[in-house]
A and B are shown apart, each in its own frame.
Chain A
């Protein structure tokens, strides 16, 4: 279980980016973090990934503070899928996925047959196995995102942190990634924390949502209880219509306009 306890953080002394945020992610669940631009979502992910040190509070994994874990131990427990991944050199898709095995190998150990098997399993799980020998740089945005998710899967961590996994994708790829995440959660019990602007994605795959505005947690709970017109208005200053969609079989959020 991932626990965020009273976490505060500021990059400079003047401005608090996060203030007193607490929530937890149960094993095997998908939790979504919603909030407008600059609300501190990415900062929250970086705190959980141990890339930043909270000025107050702590982040624990199964009771252990993430800052006390070595990089290697932390990488075995948490994998990160960033918003965008760029390679400087011409790595193949399989190369990228095998990089996820890094925390499981000794300093001079080379990837063996079992690592290759895990990598191919991750490629199959994300539907990218026929891309294995393609150059990563030549893939489309949606393919890249799926490959990076495969790389995170190969890391065999307890939890996945995803930062706006659908932000740069067209609507088709958004649906692909959403169903991939839901399937990974259902079939493999992957625990996930997903930061997103995509309210419909959040409504469709998340068991619980955490709403953050100006660094403060304003509400949390199941999508049905926290995705309300009032909450959307207070988060984004937007007037939205929220309704159960019978064909999608989930809540859908339609933004109408700026709140008056």
Chain B
């Protein structure tokens, strides 16, 4: 009898444990989505409010938002809204666009190392934007100006080449082919970039060189508004994707067997990711590693579900790049570093660490 009791006793504890674990896993996805978007959204808003306070002239957030004073007389508000906020807003948009594109590439290609810069999509966007800056007269189609359009075309073109390569074997995407294709494309398009610089005149070269280093100093709200159009289009596409991306990360056939229209989801994903990469690159120049660092950190925090990962990465990507830009502005003040150098200093070692842990 005693023996039987001993066997029985641990059982309630085990049941309780299991119940606890199950409750966590059972927590409704709706609640998790609200908490995730709320939390990361609050972080982004906080960064947008606090980052403009940093700089050589000291300003106060309270005075900047003080409505009792006319805007023309309110120096703090002018510095906050005219001098500093455009740059912070640009960082938010670029960070969000690149991070969301990174999430989509990684799910679509079933490879955590896929990102706009490893696939050659960033440099494709750069080539497009450089062609527009160097050769094209300014024009716009339906609210989209030349640089974001050309940069979208460049990213879509580069992506189409890499994607075509990996799909050509008819057996879905091989990530080896894909990453190798990305490396070759990056080198090749790098040569195209050099060629464009070589044939353009000196003042243009200076502009493009500065641009290629990646800078968020956009100077006003007009370029931001121009980038918001493709970004809004991309957001519509992204909104339809998360669950399909979850399933497609098991492989295209497994996704199709569960009812995903895989070719359609792939098209939406590729166009949306190209749009948001193009929007980001046209605004700031190529800024590396955001698309790979941010989704990884976010997955560590919220798990694998793309209904959480995609919005959280976009929001956190914005906050992350605002933070990087803050470092770029203040680390060697009064000298400003291009923010691309800061993200590369963080992202390069991170990427290598990722490679090491994955190869182990």
Contacts and interface: CB of A to CB of B under 8 A. Distances in A.
Interface of A: 46, 49-51, 70-72, 74-76, 78-80, 82, 85-92, 94-96, 99-100, 102-103, 105, 107-108, 110-112, 116, 130, 132-133, 155
Contact of B30 (A70, A94, A100, A110): A110
Contacts of A85: 250-251, 254
A133 B304 contact: no
B250 A79 contact: no
Nearest to B20: A133
A86 B250 contact: yes
Contact of A88 (B112, B253, B260): B112
Interface size class of B (residues with CB under 8 A): 35 or more
Query: Among B21, B30, B254, which residue has the most Cβ atoms of chain A within 10 A?
Result: B254
Contact of A71 (B26, B30, B261): B261
B352 interface: no
Contact of B253 (A51, A72, A76, A79): A51
A102 B247 CA distance: 9
A72 B24 contact: no
- Nearest 10 pairs between A and B by C-beta? A103-B259, A75-B259, A89-B304, A80-B257, A72-B259, A133-B25, A133-B21, A88-B110, A88-B249, A102-B258
Given A100-B258, A102-B259, A46 B250 contact: no
16 contacts: A46-B253, A50-B256, A51-B256, A51-B257, A71-B256, A71-B262, A85-B254, A88-B249, A90-B304, A91-B304, A95-B246, A100-B258, A103-B258, A110-B30, A111-B28, A116-B26
B29 interface: yes
A99 B107 contact: no
Contact of A132 (B25, B262, B307): B25
Given A102-B258, A130-B18, A87 B249 contact: yes
A107 to B, nearest CB: 7
Contacts of B28: 110-112
Contacts of A80: 253-254, 257
A90 B296 CA distance: 11
Query: Among B21, B239, B299, which residue has the most Cβ atoms of chain A within 10 A?
Result: B21
A132 B29 contact: no
Contact of A99 (B21, B26, B110, B258): B258
Contacts of B29: 110-111
B21 A107 contact: no
A89 B303 CA distance: 8
B155 interface: no
Given A111-B29, A130-B18, A95 B305 contact: yes
Interface in B267-311: 299, 303-305, 307
A102 B243 contact: yes
Contacts of A155: 258
A216 B13 CA distance: 57
A88 B256 contact: no
Contact of A133 (B22, B110, B251, B257): B22
B106 interface: yes
A95 B242 CA distance: 13
A155 B28 CA distance: 19
A89 B299 contact: yes
Contact of A49 (B24, B26, B30, B257): B257
B112 A133 contact: no
Given A95-B304, A110-B30, A133-B21, A90 B299 contact: yes
B250 A94 contact: no
Query: Among A78, A89, A107, A110, which residue has the most Cβ atoms of chain B within 10 A?
Result: A89
Given A88-B107, A88-B112, A89-B249, A71 B25 contact: no
A88 B106 contact: yes
B78 interface: no
Contacts of B303: 90-92, 95
